[in-house]
Structure 1
Amino acid sequence: MIITDTHTHLYSEAFNEDRTEMIQRAIDSGVSRFFIPAIDSSYTESMLKLEEDFPDNVNLMMGLHPTSVKPDTYKEELQLVYEWFSKRKFCAVGEIGIDLYWDKSTLAIQQEAFKIQIELAKKYGLPIVIHCREAFDEIFEVLDDVNDEKLFGIFHCFTGNEQQAERAISYNMKLGIGGVVTFKNGKIDQFINTIDLKHIVLETDSPYLAPKPYRGKRNESAYIVYVLEKLSELYQMPKEEIASITTQNASEVFNTINQ
């Protein structure tokens, strides 16, 4: 059984004490492919080291996270993103988007950075990986403006309702489903089985959002098996089949089918 974690921050400081062992636990659990989102330039070196240490497992994205879109630095950070794409290949532009949980005052420049990076993804024929926190309407507004046949990707850590799920899918986005589906108050467990599995990919967002029974603790990629178990229960399908379908979906999004 091959499981794909489409969103995991393996470079996080939370793993500094046991990173290699943590990654090996995931591999031993069947998680053989990890897709690594960027945050900002302060993590680039750590991301490249991950790829060097696990070349058969790690796939890197590049982008500027919305919480790192700051008035005094975002243009410089975006320039660095452009420079990295001119130097080498990445599997996606991400994670990018809008986050209004921490700072609503930067909405305008978050929207600007989001649009700029979507156009970068289109230029290189790459998917985008969207971060959305308390910003569904604002995200959809941007996607309406840029929607065309070149737009595709993943709505990372999807936590919306059924109508928002259908709208996200309408922009050619897969839904990234992680630990929230195991939460009693997560709500997506109430409708996710009405969404065709062809629109679903698995993720952990580790070290964040650990699934039950580890909720509130450090998350790690090995815990994706609990997400898989919950989806197996909700879809009334074998875990192996869900793992296969979602891994195929991830391969199609990230264009890694033949790699």
Structure 2
Amino acid sequence: MMITDTHTHLYSEAFNEDRNDMIERALKSNVSRFFIPAIDSSHTEAMLQLEADYPDYMFLMMGLHPTSVKENYKTELQHVETMLAKRKFYAVGEIGIDLYWDTSTLEIQKKAFKQQIQLAKQYQLPIVIHCREAFDEIFEVLDTEKDDDLFGIFHCFTGTLEQAQRAISYNMKLGIGGVATFKNGKIDQFLNEIDLKHIVLETDSPYLAPKPYRGKRNESVYILKVLEKLSEIYSVSEEKIAEITTQNSKDIFGI
């Protein structure tokens, strides 16, 4: 069984004390493909080092996270452009809109999101979307960019069935993680109405640990709890969930 974590911040400082041990725990549990989202230029070196240490398992993205869209966002976007031109990445992400932390930057968040979607199209790459309290704003931008070259993952999907169907209509897979295991997560109530061909697994570690680790540091091996939950929701084996979601990740990332 091969399990793919499509979204994990393994370069995070939260893992500085035990990063290698944590990655080995995941590898021993058949979690062997890790897709690494970018945040901003201050994390690039750590991402590249992670890839250098585990070249067979780590697949990097490049992008500017919406919470890092500040006054210097044009400089940060230039860094994204420079890196994409320099070497291979597997997605432009994570990008999007976050209105939980700061609503005052909405207009520049939209500009940064749109510009990075266009960069992804230029490089024929998927996008990986971060959406927090911003479904309407995200959909508004996606409406303007919808075409055959737009595809990717709606990371950490936490919306309604209607929002899930709309996200899928933009050629997005739904990134499902720890929230599916939460009592108040709600997505578990309708996920079985979404065909598994639209689903990928993720942890978003070190954030959003699934039950029974909720509130603690998340790590990639905890994706097994998400796998277990989806097996229960869809009434199919964990092996089948792993097989389908890994294939979906290959369809998106091209590897």
Q: How does 1:156-175 map to 2 (within 5 A)?
A: 156-175=155-174
Q: 1:21-44 deviations in whole A, cap 9, x for unaligned?
A: 000000011100000000000000
Distance 1:68 1:127 in 2: 20
Q: Any gaps of 5 or more consecutive residues in structure 1? A: none
Aligned residue number for residue 58 of structure 1 = 58
Q: 1:114-162 deviations in whole A, cap 9, x for unaligned?
A: 0000000000000000000000000000000110000000000000000
- Opposite residue 49 of structure 1, the aligned amino acid is Q
Aligned to 2:105, the other structure's residue is in SS state helix
Aligned residue number for residue 200 of structure 1 = 199
- Opposite residue 148 of structure 1, the aligned amino acid is D
Aligned to 1:213, the other structure's residue is in SS state coil
4+ runs of 1 displaced by more than 3 Å?
A: none
Q: Are positions 1:118 and 2:117 aligned together?
A: yes
Q: State the 1:86 CA deviation.
A: 1.1
Q: Give the total of aligned pairs.
A: 255
Q: State the 1:245 CA deviation.
A: 0.2
Distance 1:223 1:59 in 2: 19
Distance 1:155 1:37 in 2: 13
Distance 2:220 2:184 in 1: 22
Distance 1:233 1:239 in 2: 9
Q: 1:143-192 deviations in whole A, cap 9, x for unaligned?
A: 00110000000000000000000000000000000000000000000000
Distance 1:41 1:80 in 2: 7
Please give the root-mean-square deviation of Cα atoms over the aligned residues, in Å.
0.3
Aligned residue number for residue 186 of structure 1 = 185
Q: Any gaps of 5 or more consecutive residues in structure 2? A: none
Q: How does 1:70-149 map to 2 (within 5 A)?
A: 70-71=70-71, 73-149=72-148
- TM-score for the superposition, normalised by structure 1: 0.98
Aligned residue number for residue 2 of structure 1 = 2
Aligned to 1:4, the other structure's residue is in SS state strand
Q: Are positions 1:220 and 2:219 aligned together?
A: yes
Distance 1:233 1:80 in 2: 43
- Opposite residue 64 of structure 1, the aligned amino acid is L
Q: Are positions 1:46 and 2:68 aligned together?
A: no
Aligned to 2:104, the other structure's residue is in SS state helix
- TM-score for the superposition, normalised by structure 2: 1.00
Q: State the 1:17 CA deviation.
A: 0.1
Distance 2:4 2:126 in 1: 16
Aligned to 2:4, the other structure's residue is in SS state strand
